[in-house]
C-alpha cells in the first residue's frame, strides 16, 4: 500500500486495482466486489453508448449513478491514502513520545548504569575477566589475539591505562584459575563381551595424563554390553591444561571378595564427596588388589579439542593390537570452575551489563533492532566466563533475561525476538521448578519491566503499516512472550501491573493477570485509535450532510482498521494466545459507531422533508435537498458493511450486538428515499423524452435513447435495492411493493410522454397524406422496450428469496398473499403499458384513416372490383405496412394490422350507413363486401376467421343483410324468428302441439291442440284456427295450403286434424325449409281473420321415413307460440330501406299488421 | 387476454387507500368489496395489500385500485410511502372499539402529512365497520354528528360480515371524488401521472382470506 504513495498517478491506479483484487481475493471487501461488478457493467454500458456521461444524468447531477458506482471505491482509496500520510508523520513523533515516558521514569543513562554496579567493584570484575582472557580454554579463539581482546575489555570496562597496568600485573602473577573438567559418563554401547556368559561387567576409569595417579572410576554394570552410567566427575585441570590429555578406559570387572565386601557398604556412605572417596577406594582396591580385571578398551581426548562451552560425543574404545573398536562410549565434557554458583551468576550478569553497555555505545542500534548479537570480543569474553566460572545454561539465560530487559528499559533497542527466544529457553526450567525463589523473584521483576513494552506494542499496533513484515514479526514475538508468561503462576507478593505505569488499564474487580491486561491493552489501543480518528476528523461542516459524510468516514476508517486486524493480526493472536482480537476490536468499534450514529440517523430520518411532486422547479445540484439521500445511503452501506465484516470475520453474535438492528434507524429514510427516487425518475424520464431525437441507438437496436435512459433508471433503482440488501423480510416486502409500484408508474408515465412527443412534435406537413415514419415505430418500440424491462426488473429484485424469507418469518399463506399483491401490480402495469401501445398504434391508424376513407368511397362507386382506386388503397397500405413490418416487432405488427382491419371495417360501416340512405341496390353492397374481403385477405395473411373483432362481426352481418335479395332476406327473417322461438325460455303466448313427419316426399302434419293462447275478443276468448304454410313462400308455390277448422270461444282449442302435403324432391331437399303454423282468430264479421301468434319448425327437425307403416310413434312436438313485437329487427330495417321493392313493401306491411295485432288489447 | 383487443374508452382509474387502527377490519372491507368474500379469521396485513375492482357509479365505470394498509404502529414507516397519488381515502373504525374511533382524526392527519396533497377538498369518507356486532360501543348518531361537525367528512356504517353498505360505501366515496371541485391542472396531473390500470378483467386474481386459519388477535 505504501508504495502507492510514491508512485506516479497512472501506476497508482494500477496499484489500486491490484489492491482491490487482493481485497476480493481475501473475500473481505464485500462492498468493493460489488462495486467492481457494478462498475464493469456501467463501463460496458458506456462503451456501448460511446459516451461518458449521458445528458440525462446531468439533470440531477447523477443522482442514481451515485449509488453503486465506483465513486465509493475511490473514496475509500483516497481516505486510506490521506490517513496514511497523517500516520506517517505521526508515527515517529508518537513513538518518541511513548519512549520518552520510559526514559523520564528511569532517568538513567549508560554511564549511570555502570556506577549502579555497586555490589561488585568494577575493577575486581575486570581483574577476573583479564584473568580468564589470559587463561583461555577451549578450542575456539575466532582468530582474535589475546592483546586485542584485552584492549577491548579495557575499553568496555572504561579502565584507565594506569589502573589497567596495575591490575594486569596482578593477574599475571596470579595462579591459573582452578578450572575443572566436568565429565558425565553417560553410557556405552557395543562393548566387547569378555566373560564366558557372553557379557561383560564394564566400569570406566578416568584420569588426566599429567596426573595419572588421580584415577576416577565409575560403578560396575554387571552382565551388559550396553551399560548406562550417567555419573558425574570433576577433574581439576592444571595450568598447562592446553597440552593435557583426558584418558578414559573401560574395564571388565572380575569380582574379588574384598571389593564385593566394600560394595556392600554402599548404603553407609553419605554425601557426594563421600561417594567420590568411596569410588576411589574401590578403584584403588580394584587396581592394586588381587584381581583379574581385564581392559576392554580406552580413548585419549586432548583437552584442547574440547570447545569452551563443552560438547557431548561418542568416542571409540581402542585397544592395543586390535584394529577394530572395542565399543563406544558417550561422554559429556565441559569446563567449569568451583566458584560459588550465586556469586558466579551475579558476576556473569554484571559482565553482561558492562558488555551490553559497551555494545550499545559502540553499535548505537535503532529501536527494537538489536538481535542479541555481541561483538566477537564480547562473545569470547562471555564464553570464557561461562566456562571458567562454571555458569550453567539456566543461569546464563536468566542473566540474559534480566540484563537485556534492564538495557531495554533504558532505551528500547532490543528486538522482541531476543526476549522471546530467551524466555522460550527458560520455560522448561521454570515449570520444572529449577529456579530458586530468589531467582524467580528476579525473573518476575524483569518481566514486570518488560511487560509494559509488550502491551505498548500491542496498544500501538497501528503505528506502522499493518502489512509491515517487521511489525508482524514483532507482534508474533510479543504474543509469544505473553503466551509463555501466561503459563506461569504469577508471584502473589508482587504488583505486576502498577497503576502509575498502567494508567490505561480498565477498572476491574478481579486480580489482574496477563490475559486480562492483554484484553485491556487491545481495548485501549482500539479506543485510542477511535479517539485519534475523531481528533483527525473534527467536524468542519456542521450541516447534516457534512456530519453524515464525517460519520461515514469515521466508520470506514474503523472498518479499515478492523479489516487489517482480520487480515494480519487476528490469526496471530488466536494462534499464540487464543485471544479473540478482531472480535474485541469489533465490539469496541460497533459500540462507538452505535453511540455516534443511532440518535443522529434516527433524527435525520424522522426530520426528512417529503418532496412535493407538484413542485415543478428543478433544484440546483448543490442545494438539492435530495443529495442527502445519497449520503444517508452511503452511511447505511458503511454501517452495513462494517456489521457484515463483524459477523462474518469476527464471530460477532448478530443478535446481541448494538448494530443488530441498525437498519431500523434508516427505515423512514429509505421510505423517503424511495419517494425521492420515484420523483427523480419521473423528472429524468421527462428529460430523456425531451432529449430523445427518435433515432435508433445503433444499427442493431430497435429503440432510441430515452428507452435506454429509462431502463437505466430502473437498473439504478434495482442496484440501489440490491446494495441496500434490507435485512428484514417484512420491511423488504413493503419496500419492494413500493418500488414495483413506482417502476410501474414510471413505465406508464414514459408511455404517456413518448406518445405525446411523437404525436405532437413529430408531425408531417399539414394537408399532405399521412405516411407512417420510423419515428412512430420507434416510439412504439421504445414503449415496448420499457415494458419488457419490467418483468426482469421485478425478478431481479429477489422476489423468490423475499417470499422464502416471508414464508419462514410469517407463514406460507402470508407470503402467498404478498406475492399475489405484487403479481397483481406488475400484471396491471404491463397491461396498462400494452394498452398504451395499442392507443399509440390506434393514433397511427387514425392518421391513416382519411386516405383509406377516400379510396374506399371512390372504390365503392365502381362496379368492377379490379378498379384502380382499390389498387391505390392497397398500394398506400402496402407502403406503410412495409415500414411497420420492418420496424415493429411481430406482436405489435399484428396489433396494428388488427387495428387497420378494424378501422377499415369502421369506415365501411359508416359508408354503408351513408349509402343506405341513398337507397343503393344490393349489388352496390356486394361490391363493397367483395372489396372488404379482398382487403381483409390482404391484411390477414392466414385469412383467419377466429378472433374477429366486434367491429368486423358487426360489419359482416350488415354486409350480409344488404347484399341479400329481398326473397332471401325475408326467409332470413323467418329463420331469425325460429331462433327467437328456440331461445325463448317461457311460453308467454301459449303452446301449440303438433306431429310432423316426412314419408318420402310427403310431409304429414298433425295439428293436435293449442293451450293458453292469447284472448283476442272482449269476452276473454278467441275463435282460433291454424294455417299450415311452408317457407320460403316462393319455393312452395304449388302445394296444399291446409287450414284447420275454427274452434269457437276457447283458449285451449283441440284441433286434432291431419294433413298430407306432397312435395317435389327439390322442395323436399330445400336446405332452409321451414314449416310455419299461423294461429288466427276468426273475425267476428268474418271479413279479415286476425293474427294471434305463430310457430316455426325447421325441416331439419322433422323425422323422415320411407313407408307410411313406420309412422307409428311419431313424437309430439310442443312449439312455443310467438309474435313479432316491433320493427327493431335489423332484417326488417334493411327491408324497410328497399322502398322501391314491391315484395319488400308488401312483406313489411303484413308484418306491421301482425305487430299491431300482437300489441293490441282484446276488442270491445 | 387481459389487454384490450380494440381500443375502447378507458375507465377512469382511482387510487383508494384504506386507513384505520389495527383490527378494525380494513382487509375484510376490501375483500368483501372486491371478491364478495368474508372470513372471521384474517391475518394481519403485512405493510400493504393491493386489489382492483370496477365499479359503476352513475353510469360511469370506474376502476378502483385499492391499497389496504397495515394498521399496526410498527408498519407506519412502511405504509406511508403508498399515500402519495391517492384519489380517495377511507378512514375506518370499528364500532366496538372506542379507541379506533378516537384515532380517526390522527389517521386523517397522517394521511395529509404523507400524501402531500394540496387539495383542501380531498375526498375522505369515514367508514364504521362491524355494525353487525351487538356489543356496539360507538353510537351511530354520535359518530355521524362528530364526523360532520368536527371533521366535515361524510359518514357511512358498514358490516363486511353481513355485506351491509359495502358497495354503497365505495360508491359514495367515488361520488365524493366526482363531485369535488379541484383545480383543473391537478386533475390533469392526476391523469398524466401514472396510473395503473387494467381496463379489462380488472378484478381477477383476488387473494382472499378464506383459507387463512390463524386467528387474528
Q: Read off the pLDDT of each residue in A1032-1057 and give the average, rounded to a whole number.
A: 86
Q: Which three cell numbers stand for residue A173?
A: 602473577
Say yes or no: A325 and A240 in one domain. yes
Nearest-CB residue to A817 (from B49, B78, B114): B49
Of A817, A835, A951, the CB nearest to B4: A835
Share of chain B above pLDDT 90, in %: 37
CB-based contact B116 A731, cutoff 8 Å = no
Residue A50 pLDDT: 40
Residue B7 located in a structural domain: no
> Are the Cβ atoms of B196 and A834 closer than 8 angstroms?
no
A844/A867 Cα distance (integer angstroms): 27
Domain assignment present for residue B82? The answer is yes
Contact between residue A776 and residue A762 where contact means Cβ atoms under 8 Å apart:
yes
Set of chain A residues whose Cβ sits within 8 Å of the Cβ of B52: 824, 828
Q: A49 pLDDT exceeds 60?
A: no
Tell me how long chain B is. 217
Same domain, A361 and A481: yes
- Other Cβ atoms less than 10 A from the Cβ of A1120: the count is 20
Answer yes or no: is B6 within a domain.
Answer: no
The confidence band for B20, taking pLDDT boundaries of 50, 70 and 90, is very high
Same domain, A218 and A365: no
Domain assignment present for A542:
no
The C-alpha of A876 sits at a distance from chain B's nearest C-alpha, in angstroms, of 23
A415-424, A499-508, B151-160, B169-178: range with lowest mean pLDDT: A499-508
Judged by CB atoms closer than 8 Å, whether chains meet at A835 and B3 is answered as yes
Once rounded to an integer, what is the mean pLDDT over residues A27-44? 38
- CATH number, domain of A1047, equals 2.60.40.150
Q: Does B77 touch chain A (CB under 8 A)?
A: yes
CA nearest A817 in B: which residue?
B207
Residue B198 lies in a domain: no
Residue A863: DSSP 8-state: S
Instruction: Please tell me which residue of chain B has the smallest CA distance to A683.
Output: B193
Asked whether residue A923 is domain-assigned, the answer is: yes
- With CB atoms and an 8 Å threshold, state whether B48 touches A737: yes
- Domain housing A986: 977-1159
Q: Mutate which of B1, B43, B50, B72 to test chain A, going by most A C-beta atoms within 10 A?
A: B50
Quote the DSSP letter at residue B164.
B
B188 touches chain A (CB under 8 A): no
Of A237, A246, A242, give the one whose Cα is nearest residue A178: A237
B183: contact with A, CB 8 A cutoff: no
Is residue A753 included in any domain, yes or no? no
Q: Among A436, A468, A496, identify where a domain stops.
A: A496
- pTM for the model stands at 0.62
Asked if the model's pLDDT at residue B125 lies above 90, the reply is: yes
CA distances from A868 to A855, A872, A904, A1118 (A): 9, 6, 18, 57
pLDDT score at A1164: 43
From A1158's Cα to the closest Cα of chain B, the distance in A is 34
What pLDDT shows up at residue A506? 75
Dist. CA A855–CA A875, nearest whole Å: 11
CA–CA distance, A862 with A556 (Å, rounded to integer): 85
CB contact under 8 A, A745 and B189: no
Q: Which cell numbers in the block locate residue A939?
A: 391484411
Q: Is residue B4 part of a domain?
A: no
Domain membership flag for residue A68: no
CB atoms within 10 A of CB A21: 13
Question: Which residues does residue A1078 pair with via DSSP β-bridges, in sequence order?
Answer: A1027, A1094
Does residue B190 sit within a domain?
Answer: no
Residue A12 confidence (pLDDT) above 50: no
Burial of B32 per CB tally in 10 Å (0-12, 13-18, 19+):
buried
Query: Which pLDDT belongs to residue A626?
Result: 52
Q: Taking CB atoms and an 8 Å limit, are A821 and B207 in contact across chains?
A: yes
Kindly report the CATH number assigned to the domain that includes residue B21: 3.40.50.300
Find which of A175-189, B10-24, B179-193 is predicted with most confidence, using mean pLDDT.
Answer: B10-24
Q: Which of A673, A828, A900 is the best mutation test for B, with the most CBs of B within 10 A?
A: A828
Grid cell at residue A842: 390506434
Nearest C-alpha in B relative to A838: B7
B193 touches chain A (CB under 8 A): yes
Look at residue B199 and tell me if it is in a domain: no
A790: closest CA of chain B, how far (Å)? 13
Q: CB of B180 within 8 Å of any CB in chain A?
A: no
Are A916 and A899 in the same domain?
A: yes
d(CA B59, CA B202) in angstroms, rounded, equals 18
User: Looking at the predicted structure, is the pLDDT value of residue A726 above 60?
Assistant: yes
pLDDT category at B155 given cuts 50, 70, 90 is: very high
Percent above pLDDT 70 for chain A: 79
Question: Alpha-carbon distance A172 to A1032, whole Å?
Answer: 163
Residue A72 has what pLDDT?
44
- Residue A1119 near residue A991 (C-beta atoms within 8 A): yes
Q: Residue A301 belongs to what H/E stretch?
A: strand A294-302
Residue A233: its pLDDT value, please? 79
Which of A337, A372, A407 lies at the terminal end of a domain, its last residue? A337
Q: Does B102 touch chain A (CB under 8 A)?
A: no
The pLDDT tens digits of the residues spanning A275-297 come to 554 555 455 555 554 456 788 88
Residue A254 maps to a domain: yes
Q: Are residues A333 and A399 in the same domain?
A: no
Residue A834 lies in a domain: no
Contact partners, residue A379, CB within 8 Å, separation at least 6: A142
Nearest CA-CA distance, residue B95 and chain A, Å: 27
pLDDT tens by residue, A843-898: 888 888 888 888 777 766 655 555 666 777 788 888 888 888 888 888 888 888 88
Position B162 scores a pLDDT of: 92
Q: Is B216 on the interface with A (CB under 8 A)?
A: no
Q: Are residues A275 and A347 in the same domain?
A: no
Residue A673 binned pLDDT confidence (cut-offs 50, 70, 90): confident
Strand partners, B50: B67
Q: Is B21 on the interface with A (CB under 8 A)?
A: no
Q: At residue B159, does pLDDT exceed 90? A: yes
Total of domains in chain A: 4
Contact (CB<8Å) B193/A749: yes
Between chain A and chain B, the number of residue pairs with CB atoms below 8 A apart is: 141
Last residue of a domain, one of A496, A524, A552: A496
Same domain flag for A152 and A185: no
Which chain B residues are within 8 Å of A898, Cβ to Cβ? 5-6
Residue B6 contacts A where some CB pair is shorter than 8 Å: yes
Output the pLDDT for position A106. 40
Residue A15 has pLDDT above 50, yes or no: no
- Domain that residue B158 falls in: 13-180
Query: 3-state class of A1000 per DSSP?
Result: coil
Say if A14 falls within a structural domain.
Answer: no
Residue A806 pLDDT more than 90? no
pLDDT digits (tens, 9 = 90+) for A816-836: 888 888 888 888 888 888 888
Query: Mean pLDDT, to the nearest integer, of A759-778?
Result: 73
Please state the domain count of chain B.
1
In a domain, A302, yes or no: yes
Give tens-digit pLDDT for A237-288.
765 556 788 889 888 887 654 555 555 545 544 445 445 545 554 555 555 5
Question: Which residues 133-162 of B have a C-beta within 8 angstroms of A?
Answer: none
Query: Which cell is A142 given?
Result: 575466532
Instruction: Using a CB–CB cutoff of 8 Å, tell me whether B116 touches chain A.
Output: yes
Q: Is A104 exposed, middle or buried (0-12, 13-18, 19+ CB in 10 A)?
A: exposed
Claim to verify: residue A355 and residue A452 sit in the same structural domain: yes
B205 touches A820 (CB < 8 A): yes
Distance between CA A738 and CA A744 in Å, rounded? 10
Quote the minimal CA–CA distance from B10 to chain A in Å: 9
Residues A422 and A436 in one domain: yes
Sheet holding A294-302: strands in order across? A211-217, A202-208, A245-252, A294-302
Q: Which pLDDT tens digit goes with each residue over A208-220?
A: 888 777 788 888 8
Determine whether the interchain pair A671/B81 forms a contact, defined as Cβ–Cβ distance below 8 Å. yes
Question: Are A375 and A482 within one domain?
Answer: yes
Q: Which of residues 195-214 of B touch A (CB under 8 A)?
A: 195-200, 205, 207, 211-214
Contact B85 A745 (CB under 8 A): yes
Q: Which residue of B has its CA nearest to A731?
A: B78
Least CB–CB distance from A671: residue in B4, B78, B200: B78
All three cell numbers of A1028, joined, read 299450415
Residue A306: the pLDDT is 82
pLDDT in tens, A1111-1145: 667 888 889 988 888 877 778 877 777 777 788 88
Residues A522-578 pLDDT 10s: 888 888 889 888 888 888 878 888 888 889 989 988 998 898 888 888 888 988 888
Beta strands across the sheet bearing A1090-1098? A1024-1031, A1074-1081, A1090-1098
Say whether both A889 and A982 belong to one domain.
no
pLDDT at A766: 59
- Residues B22, B71 contacting (CB under 8 angstroms): yes
Among A337-351, A646-660, B12-26, B136-150, where is mean pLDDT lowest? A337-351
Q: Are residues A139 and A278 in the same domain?
A: no
The residue of chain B nearest to residue A735, with distances taken between CA atoms, is B78
- B75: nearest CA partner in chain A: A731
CB contact under 8 A, A613 and B84: yes
Q: Exposed, middle or buried, B117 (CB in 10 Å: 0-12/13-18/19+)?
A: buried
Q: Do B84 and A735 touch (CB under 8 A)?
A: no
pLDDT value at residue A59: 64
Q: Using CA atoms, how far apart are residues A802 and A142, in angstroms rounded to an integer?
A: 78
Residue A25: pLDDT over 50:
no
Which residue bears the cell 378512514? B91
Residues from chain A contacting residue B51 (CB–CB below 8 Å): 821, 824
Mind listing the pLDDT tens digit for each residue in A662-671? Answer: 888 888 888 8
Amino acid at each position: 500500500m505504501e508504495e502507492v504513495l510514491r508512485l506516479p498517478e497512472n501506476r497508482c491506479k494500477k496499484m489500486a486495482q491490484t489492491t482491490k483484487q487482493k481485497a476480493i481475493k481475501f473475500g473481505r471487501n464485500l462492498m468493493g466486489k460489488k462495486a467492481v461488478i457494478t462498475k464493469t457493467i456501467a463501463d460496458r454500458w458506456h462503451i456501448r453508448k460511446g459516451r461518458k456521461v449521458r445528458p440525462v444524468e446531468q439533470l440531477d447531477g447523477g443522482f442514481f449513478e451515485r449509488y453503486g458506482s465506483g465513486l465509493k471505491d475511490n473514496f475509500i482509496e483516497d481516505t486510506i491514502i490521506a490517513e496514511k500520510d497523517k500516520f506517517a508523520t505521526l508515527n515517529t513523533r508518537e513513538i518518541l513520545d511513548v519512549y520518552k515516558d520510559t526514559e523520564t521514569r528511569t532517568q538513567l543513562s549508560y554511564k549511570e548504569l555502570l556506577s549502579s554496579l555497586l555490589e561488585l567493584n568494577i575493577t575486581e570484575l575486570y581483574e577476573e575477566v583479564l584473568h580468564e582472557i589470559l587463561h583461555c580454554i577451549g578450542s575456539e579463539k575466532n582468530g582474535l589475539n589475546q592483546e586485542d581482546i584485552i584492549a577491548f575489555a579495557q575499553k568496555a570496562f572504561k579502565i584507565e591505562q594506569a589502573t589497567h597496568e596495575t591490575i594486569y600485573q596482578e593477574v599475571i602473577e596470579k595462579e591459573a584459575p582452578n578450572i575443572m573438567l566436568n565429565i558425565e559418563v553417560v553410557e556405552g554401547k557395543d562393548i566387547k563381551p569378555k566373560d564366558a556368559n557372553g557379557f561383560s561387567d564394564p566400569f570406566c576409569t578416568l584420569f588426566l595424563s599429567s596426573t595419572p595417579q588421580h584415577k576416577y572410576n565409575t560403578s560396575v554394570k554387571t552382565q551388559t554390553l550396553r551399560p548406562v552410567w550417567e555419573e558425574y566427575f570433576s577433574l581439576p585441570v592444571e595450568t598447562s591444561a592446553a597440552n593435557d590429555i583426558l584418558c578414559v578406559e573401560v574395564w571388565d570387572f572380575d569380582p574379588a571378595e574384598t571389593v564385593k565386601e566394600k560394595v556392600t557398604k554402599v548404603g553407609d556412605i553419605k554425601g557426594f564427596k563421600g561417594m567420590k572417596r568411596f569410588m576411589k577406594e574401590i578403584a584403588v582396591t580394584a587396581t592394586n588388589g588381587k584381581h583379574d580385571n581385564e581392559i576392554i578398551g580406552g580413548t585419549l581426548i586432548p583437552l584442547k579439542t574440547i570447545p569452551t562451552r563443552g560438547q557431548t560425543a561418542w568416542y571409540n574404545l581402542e585397544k592395543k593390537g586390535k584394529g577394530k573398536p572395542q565399543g563406544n562410549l558417550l561422554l559429556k565434557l565441559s569446563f567449569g570452575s568451583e566458584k560459588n554458583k550465586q556469586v558466579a551468576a551475579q558476576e556473569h550478569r554484571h559482565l553482561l551489563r558492562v558488555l551490553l553497555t559497551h555494545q550499545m555505545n559502540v553499535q548505537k542500534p535503532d529501536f527494537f533492532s538489536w538481535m542479541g548479537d555481541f561483538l566477537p570480543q564480547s562473545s569470547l569474553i562471555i564464553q570464557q566466563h561461562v566456562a571458567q566460572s562454571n555458569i550453567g545454561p539456566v543461569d546464563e539465560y536468566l542473566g540474559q533475561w534480566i540484563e537485556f530487559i534492564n538495557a531495554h528499559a533504558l532505551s528500547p533497542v532490543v528486538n522482541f525476538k531476543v526476549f522471546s527466544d530467551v524466555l522460550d529457553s527458560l520455560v522448561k526450567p521454570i515449570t520444572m521448578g529449577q529456579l530458586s525463589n530468589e531467582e524467580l523473584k528476579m525473573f518476575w521483576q524483569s518481566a514486570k519491566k518488560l511487560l509494559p513494552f509488550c502491551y505498548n506494542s500491542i496498544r500501538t499496533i497501528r503505528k506502522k503499516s499493518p502489512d509491515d513484515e517487521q511489525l508482524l514479526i514483532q507482534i508474533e514475538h510479543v504474543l509469544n512472550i505473553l503466551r509463555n508468561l501466561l503459563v506461569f503462576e504469577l508471584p502473589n507478593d508482587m504488583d505486576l501491573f502498577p497503576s502509575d505505569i498502567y494508567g490505561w488499564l480498565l477498572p476491574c474487580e478481579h486480580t489482574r493477570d496477563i490475559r486480562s491486561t492483554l484484553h485491556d491493552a487491545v481495548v485501549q489501543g482500539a479506543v485510542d485509535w477511535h479517539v485519534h480518528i475523531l481528533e483527525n476528523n473534527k467536524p468542519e461542516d456542521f450541516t447534516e450532510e457534512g456530519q453524515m459524510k464525517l460519520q461515514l468516514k469515521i466508520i470506514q476508517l474503523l472498518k479499515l482498521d478492523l479489516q487489517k486486524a482480520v487480515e494480519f493480526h487476528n490469526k496471530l493472536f488466536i494462534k499464540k494466545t487464543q485471544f479473540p482480537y478482531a472480535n474485541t476490536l469489533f465490539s469496541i468499534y460497533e459500540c462507538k459507531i452505535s453511540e455516534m450514529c443511532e440518535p443522529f440517523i434516527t433524527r435525520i430520518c424522522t426530520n426528512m422533508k417529503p418532496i412535493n411532486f407538484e413542485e415543478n422547479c428543478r433544484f440546483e445540484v448543490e442545494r438539492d435537498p435530495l443529495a442527502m439521500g445519497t449520503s444517508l445511503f452511503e452511511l447505511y452501506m458503511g454501517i452495513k458493511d462494517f456489521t457484515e465484516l463483524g459477523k462474518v470475520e469476527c464471530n460477532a453474535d448478530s443478535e446481541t450486538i448494538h448494530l443488530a438492528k441498525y437498519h431500523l434507524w434508516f427505515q423512514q429514510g429509505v421510505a423517503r428515499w424511495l419517494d425521492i427516487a420515484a420523483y427523480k425518475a419521473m423528472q429524468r424520464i421527462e428529460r430523456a423524452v425531451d432529449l430523445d431525437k427518435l433515432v435508433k441507438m445503433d444499427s442493431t437496436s430497435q429503440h432510441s435513447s430515452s428507452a435506454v435512459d429509462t431502463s437505466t433508471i430502473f437498473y439504478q433503482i434495482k442496484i440501489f435495492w440490491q446494495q441496500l440488501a434490507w435485512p428484514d423480510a417484512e420491511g423488504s416486502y413493503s419496500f419492494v411493493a413500493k418500488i414495483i409500484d413506482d417502476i410501474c408508474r414510471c413505465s406508464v408515465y414514459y408511455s404517456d410522454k413518448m406518445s405525446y412527443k411523437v404525436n405532437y412534435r413529430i408531425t408531417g406537413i399539414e394537408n399532405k397524406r399521412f405516411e407512417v415514419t420510423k419515428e412512430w415505430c420507434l416510439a412504439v418500440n421504445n414503449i415496448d422496450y420499457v415494458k419488457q424491462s419490467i418483468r426482469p426488473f421485478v425478478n431481479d429484485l429477489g422476489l423468490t428469496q423475499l417470499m422464502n424469507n416471508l414464508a419462514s418469518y410469517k407463514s406460507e399463506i402470508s407470503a402467498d398473499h404478498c406475492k399475489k399483491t405484487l403479481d397483481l401490480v406488475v400484471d396491471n402495469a404491463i397491461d396498462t403499458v400494452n394498452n398504451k401501445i395499442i392507443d399509440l398504434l390506434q393514433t397511427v391508424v387514425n392518421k391513416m384513416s382519411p386516405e383509406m376513407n377516400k379510396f374506399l368511397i371512390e372504390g365503392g362507386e365502381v362496379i368492377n372490383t379490379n378498379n384502380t382506386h382499390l389498387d391505390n388503397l392497397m398500394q398506400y397500405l402496402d407502403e406503410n405496412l412495409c415500414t411497420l413490418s420492418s420496424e415493429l416487432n411481430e406482436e405489435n405488427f399484428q396489433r396494428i394490422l388488427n387495428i387497420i382491419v378494424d378501422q377499415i371495417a369502421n369506415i365501411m360501416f359508416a359508408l354503408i350507413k351513408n349509402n343506405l340512405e341513398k337507397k343503393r341496390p344490393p349489388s352496390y353492397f356486394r361490391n363493397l363486401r367483395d372489396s372488404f374481403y379482398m382487403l381483409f385477405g390482404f391484411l390477414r395473411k392466414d385469412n383467419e376467421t377466429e378472433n374477429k373483432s366486434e367491429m368486423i362481426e358487426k360489419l359482416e352481418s350488415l354486409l350480409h343483410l344488404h347484399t341479400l335479395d329481398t326473397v332471401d332476406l325475408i326467409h332470413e327473417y323467418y329463420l331469425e324468428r325460429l331462433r327467437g322461438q328456440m331461445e325463448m325460455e317461457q311460453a308467454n303466448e301459449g303452446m301449440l302441439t303438433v306431429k310432423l313427419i316426412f314419408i318420402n316426399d310427403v310431409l304429414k302434419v298433425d295439428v293436435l291442440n293449442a293451450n293458453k293462447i292469447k284472448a283476442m275478443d272482449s269476452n276473454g276468448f278467441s275463435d282460433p284456427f291454424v294455417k299450415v304454410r311452408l317457407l320460403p313462400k316462393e319455393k312452395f308455390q304449388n302445394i296444399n295450403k291446409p287450414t284447420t277448422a275454427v274452434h269457437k270461444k276457447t283458449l285451449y282449442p283441440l284441433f286434432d286434424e291431419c294433413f298430407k302435403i306432397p312435395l317435389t324432391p327439390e322442395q323436399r331437399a330445400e336446405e332452409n325449409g321451414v314449416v310455419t303454423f299461423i294461429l288466427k282468430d276468426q273475425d267476428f264479421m268474418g271479413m279479415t281473420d286476425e293474427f294471434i301468434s305463430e310457430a316455426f319448425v325447421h325441416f331439419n327437425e322433422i323425422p323422415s321415413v320411407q313407408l307410411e307403416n313406420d309412422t307409428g310413434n311419431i313424437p309430439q312436438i310442443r312449439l312455443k307460440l310467438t309474435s313479432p313485437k316491433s320493427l327493431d329487427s335489423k332484417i326488417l330495417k334493411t327491408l324497410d330501406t328497399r322502398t322501391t321493392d314491391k315484395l319488400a313493401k308488401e312483406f313489411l306491411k303484413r308484418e306491421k299488421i301482425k305487430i299491431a295485432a300482437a300489441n293490441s288489447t282484446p276488442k270491445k | 387476454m387481459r389487454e384490450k383487443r380494440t381500443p375502447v374508452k378507458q375507465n377512469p382509474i382511482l387510487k383508494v387507500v384504506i386507513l384505520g387502527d389495527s383490527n378494525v377490519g380494513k382487509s375484510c372491507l376490501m375483500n368483501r368489496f372486491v371478491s364478495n368474500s368474508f372470513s372471521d379469521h384474517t391475518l394481519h396485513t403485512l405493510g400493504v395489500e393491493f386489489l382492483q375492482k370496477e365499479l359503476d357509479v352513475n353510469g360511469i365505470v370506474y376502476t378502483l385500485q385499492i391499497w389496504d394498509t397495515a394498521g399496526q404502529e410498527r408498519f407506519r414507516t412502511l405504509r406511508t410511502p403508498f399515500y402519495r397519488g391517492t384519489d380517495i381515502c377511507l378512514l375506518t373504525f370499528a364500532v366496538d372499539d372506542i379507541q379506533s374511533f378516537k384515532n380517526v382524526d390522527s389517521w386523517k392527519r397522517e394521511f395529509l402529512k404523507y400524501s402531500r396533497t394540496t387539495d383542501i377538498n380531498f375526498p375522505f369518507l369515514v367508514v364504521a365497520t362491524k355494525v353487525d356486532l351487538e356489543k356496539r360501543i360507538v353510537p351511530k348518531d354520535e359518530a355521524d354528528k362528530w364526523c360532520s361537525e368536527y371533521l366535515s367528512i361524510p359518514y357511512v356504517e358498514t358490516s363486511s360480515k353481513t355485506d351491509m353498505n359495502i358497495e354503497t360505501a365505495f360508491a359514495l366515496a367515488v361520488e365524493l371524488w366526482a363531485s369535488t371541485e379541484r383545480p383543473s391542472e391537478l386533475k390533469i396531473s392526476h391523469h398524466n401521472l401514472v396510473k395503473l390500470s387494467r381496463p379489462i378483467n380488472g378484478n381477477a386474481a383476488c387473494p382472499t382470506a378464506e383459507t387463512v386459519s390463524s386467528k387474528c388477535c
